[in-house]
Chain A
Amino acid sequence: MPDVNITVDGKKLAVPAGTLLIEACKSVGIEVPSFCYYPGLSLQGACRMCLVKIEKMPKLQTACTTVVTEGMVVSTEIDEVRQARKAMLELLLANHPLDCPVCDAGGECELQDMTFSYGAAESKLIDIKNHKDEQQWSPVVYFDRPRCIMCYRCVRICGEGMDVWALGTANRGSAQLIMPNHSDYLECEECGMCIDICPVGALTSGAYRYKTRPWEMKHVGTVCTHCADGCKTTLGVRRSPTGMQIVRGDNRDKSGINGDFLCIKGRYAFDFASHDHRIQQPLIRREGRHVPASYDQAYEHIALRLKEIREQHGGHAIGVIGSTRTSNEESYLLQKFARLLLGTNNIDHHRTADFPSFAGALARKKDATASMRDVFNAPAILLIGNDPTEQHPLLAWQIRNNVRLHRARLYVVNSSPIKLRRQAASFTQIPAGSEPQLAAFLAGDDSAANALASGEITREALAALRDKLRGEPNLIIIFGSELRGSSIDSLVRFGAAISGAKFVCLGDYANSRGAADMGLYPDLLPGYVPVGSGARFHEEWGAPVPTEPGMNLLQMVDAAKAGRLKALYIVGANPVARYNLDPFALSKTFIVAHDMFLTETALLAEVILPAANAYEKSGTFTNTCGDLQLLKKAGDITTVKSDFEMLLRVADRLGFDLRQLVPFRQAERADLGQSRGAQSGEADRHAIWLEAHGLEPKLSPFDPIAMLDEIQRLVPGYDVSRVELLAGNDQHTSIEAGVASSIASQPELILPANDTLFTSGTLGRYSRTLNSVIENPRRAPADKADREVVV
């Protein structure tokens, strides 16, 4: 669109036609105060805070609803405007209690800032202020009516952004108020978006209210550890007797792939970290009971037994199970530890998607995967299977808002009427379990339509859908774990005929993509390189490693039952509960577990090491789209350690040269503190620059960045910009590069997490917030829940 010339406060500027005046002003650094205006939401014009003078217009105009026109001359700093702002504030404050000293928002409140800037704290009104007591609407959402300034941001974000429509207004004038969908309580997705977007302290969260003040916390931007979407979340941490406690999660930092969004898990379910049941010291089982031990004793015990078993029975008698929630560096280290040090390829993890087949199908295709940001910008999206609203809340947000703001065309194919169908240009319901036939049909196999067609979904309708999709350049194809193995091949073949088509393969849990990329497979090295053709790795590692595929998770359990597997080293996983294993099958095996809690699996271990979670360490995560992001240490419990450190300590006890595991000490420089996370200050920023330029000190083997070096060097697709990554920006990796096309995956081992919005595997059980929502008596039981709005 051609530019329009306007003048603001004497400054001449040209902005694209259609720009809102408030945005035009912002673009040249002129701030027009506003409350109800919020980029990306519909215009409201409710607060009148943004009044400005426009020449030739008789009255002041709202800058947030005025579109620039050629020759417009605007004044924002004249007395008339200043007076109007002050008057508007006075009206907003007419019933506002100004209880900033006790209000959660104090120090971060837009009304407070404006009142300071434009001075209207003294009122001309003598009437008594309306009062209404604070109300609890849900375990998460509290409402303090007198503080509300009726900006409607909460109503709009819930309706337009979340498509939940749980909030509304009632009455008018000074009696007007925000109402929850059930006269005095809320039943909704509990995302907390309304709380975060509230410019004042009217909506507050059950997790944070009255706990602390914003200036008493440090704020650390890191990545959510729940689902596989990788939202950036800012954790507020505060000193506690045991280290640093996380007291708040939000997304102050809107630079993340999630923009404004966080779901309940990223925002409130950090509380598992301070759960009473956290294991805070190593435990060794003696005479049938787990008793506390020192780290030294624990490492010694593990090293002795592992050495013994390896010498007597060989590496193939040892198995290793990795985690979908440890960092890439830890997963990479773990497989290296298994292969190089224990001499075994018996390594696996809880698989939730067929990433190997995906990588194989995409082999040597360039730019074939879509990033989470792409999902928000693509002109068209095809979603097959999965229910993103429950299992991938961020992905659902991206899709929904892409449709709303960019008019993307969404095609949904699913066996259930999932909520996202409401945004869909076309919704095709197919019989449960027929997703593979759909993939085959799309790839051109017309006979596959037999299994799909029923009722309204005729063969003609299916063919029409296929034709339509073929005519959608730059289509993003997103599929759930319903598609595996050769079905993924078919789908990729279908996509190959569409110019610019990209794919997203949906796995569950925060770093399951990372676990797969880092080679937690019995037959695949990092980057999906078959164990038999890992010359590059062998060279780098400087030692022979087993080239025969090892046992997968279920085979390991069988071998344990048969007495062939003597030891099992489990890092941050709960296979006993996830795969519903018979605990007795593992009774003869020496088990080591790194865990935060005494889970069903940890209970079977002879030695338990108390592990730090992803919020308590640095490193990187890869989300399900392949976006690589930096984890920063936020919380801390002084007596627990990262899996990275503990693995290395065990390796050290086994007499292994740590430099072979972690390439550290290749340059002699002072430690600038980059591994200390939240507790470090200035030096940390300096270290970012050093690291980015390959000058990092890496004096310590416990520095995960040293491992990242090796990952970036050896894992295909991970050679992304280090500067961007360390600066906290997401970097899209590309698994397709350099992968062999014939990967034999074992789709039968895939077990989707089937988490809902309010569950998160084993971890979720330890979140008070999630439990309080699940157990909330005023919410329909999960199996009957129809969180959808009555429309």
Chain B
Amino acid sequence: MPLSAEERREIEAEFPRYPTRRAVCIDAMKIVQRHRGWISDESLEDIAQLLEMSLDELDGVATFYNLLFRKPVGRHVVLLCDSVSCWIMGYDRLRERLCSKLGARLGETTADGRFTLLPIVCLGACDHAPAMMVDEDLHRDLDPEKAEQALENYK
């Protein structure tokens, strides 16, 4: 599916803010991801063409950033922090609970397409570890029950 008129317009609106088109690449991918949930090879090609970049270079950026998804994800993305502070404060118990509750391992999407569960490095919320993010929201001071409950709000 080629870039929609809306996606294109949003991307082009970023152009005047930068000296070159390539500089827009992260924003462009975020825009497409907002519309489609993830960035397919085809979308990547379309963006590369629009930004006058080589496909390889753009993919280098896409795969560098772990919040740009190059594979389909569920409606909501759960990012579970697995760095030092959270690990000490009980990350593994959270992981076990969420995995068994969702029936998906890290890196997988639930059968109903509702959640994708991903590990992530430090969220910068060490003082409230363990922490996780669901979509754009940060959840802190978690324990397995709180974590399970938090997911209820995402349909």
Contacts and interface: CB of A to CB of B under 8 A. Distances in A.
Interface of A: 155, 159, 165-172, 176, 179, 181, 789-791
B77 to A, nearest CB: 18
Interface string B47-71: 0110011111101100110100000
A280 to B, nearest CB: 46
Nearest to A179: B56
B143 to A, nearest CB: 30
Contacts of A791: 48-49, 52-54
B45 interface: yes
Contacts of A179: 56, 59-60
Contact of A169 (B49, B53, B60): B60
Contact of A790 (B45, B63, B66): B45
Contacts of A790: 45, 48-49, 54-55
A790 B53 CA distance: 8
Contacts of A155: 56
A181 B48 contact: no
Contact of B56 (A166, A171, A176): A166
A790 B41 CA distance: 13
A172 B54 contact: no
Contacts of B53: 791
24 contacts: A159-B54, A165-B54, A165-B56, A165-B57, A166-B56, A167-B56, A168-B54, A168-B56, A168-B59, A169-B56, A170-B60, A170-B63, A171-B64, A179-B56, A179-B60, A181-B54, A181-B56, A789-B54, A789-B55, A790-B45, A790-B49, A790-B55, A791-B48, A791-B53
**Which secondary structure characterizes the binding site on chain B?**
helix
Contacts of B49: 790-791
B60 A181 contact: no
- The residue in B53, B55, B60, B66 that gathers the most chain A C-beta atoms within 10 A of its C-beta is B60
A167 B57 CA distance: 8
Nearest to A171: B63
Given A790-B48, A791-B49, A172 B56 contact: no
Given A170-B59, A171-B64, A791-B48, 19 more contacts: A155-B56, A159-B57, A165-B56, A165-B57, A167-B56, A168-B54, A168-B55, A168-B56, A168-B57, A169-B60, A169-B63, A171-B63, A172-B64, A179-B56, A181-B56, A789-B54, A789-B55, A791-B52, A791-B54
Interface residues of B, number: 14
A155 B56 CA distance: 10
The 10 closest A-B pairs by CB, nearest first: A168-B56, A165-B54, A169-B60, A170-B63, A168-B60, A172-B64, A789-B54, A171-B63, A791-B52, A168-B57
B112 to A, nearest CB: 29
Contacts of B56: 155, 165-169, 179, 181
A551 B61 CA distance: 64
- The residue in A166, A168, A172, A790 that gathers the most chain B C-beta atoms within 10 A of its C-beta is A168
A651 to B, nearest CB: 58
Contacts, number: 45
- The residue in B49, B54, B63, B64 that gathers the most chain A C-beta atoms within 10 A of its C-beta is B54
A644 B58 CA distance: 55
A176 B64 CA distance: 8
Contacts of A789: 54-55
Nearest to B66: A172
A169 B64 CA distance: 9
A166 B52 CA distance: 14
Contacts of B64: 169, 171-172, 176
Contacts of A170: 59-60, 63
A167 B59 CA distance: 11
A362 B29 CA distance: 56
A92 B33 CA distance: 34
A168 B54 CA distance: 9
B50 to A, nearest CB: 10
A172 B53 CA distance: 20
A179 B62 CA distance: 13
A155 B60 CA distance: 11
Contacts of A171: 63-64
A166 B56 CA distance: 7
A25 B129 CA distance: 48
A176 B60 CA distance: 9
A159 B56 CA distance: 10
A150 to B, nearest CB: 11
A759 B57 CA distance: 30
A168 B59 CA distance: 8
B97 to A, nearest CB: 27
Interface in B11-56: 45, 48-49, 52-56
Contacts of A168: 54-57, 59-60
A181 B49 CA distance: 15
A152 to B, nearest CB: 10
A166 B60 CA distance: 12
Contacts of B48: 790-791
Nearest to B121: A173
Interface string B99-113: 000000000000000
A514 B103 CA distance: 76
A172 B65 CA distance: 8
A170 to B, nearest CB: 4
A791 B63 CA distance: 19
A37 B36 CA distance: 39
A789 B57 CA distance: 11
A171 B55 CA distance: 15
B116 to A, nearest CB: 18
A789 B58 CA distance: 13
A597 B56 CA distance: 43
A790 B54 CA distance: 6
B118 to A, nearest CB: 14
B41 to A, nearest CB: 9
Contacts of A166: 56
A258 B56 CA distance: 27
Contacts of A165: 54, 56-57
A562 to B, nearest CB: 59
- The residue in A159, A179, A790 that gathers the most chain B C-beta atoms within 10 A of its C-beta is A790
A199 B63 CA distance: 25
Contacts of A172: 63-64, 66
Nearest to B63: A170
Nearest to B56: A168
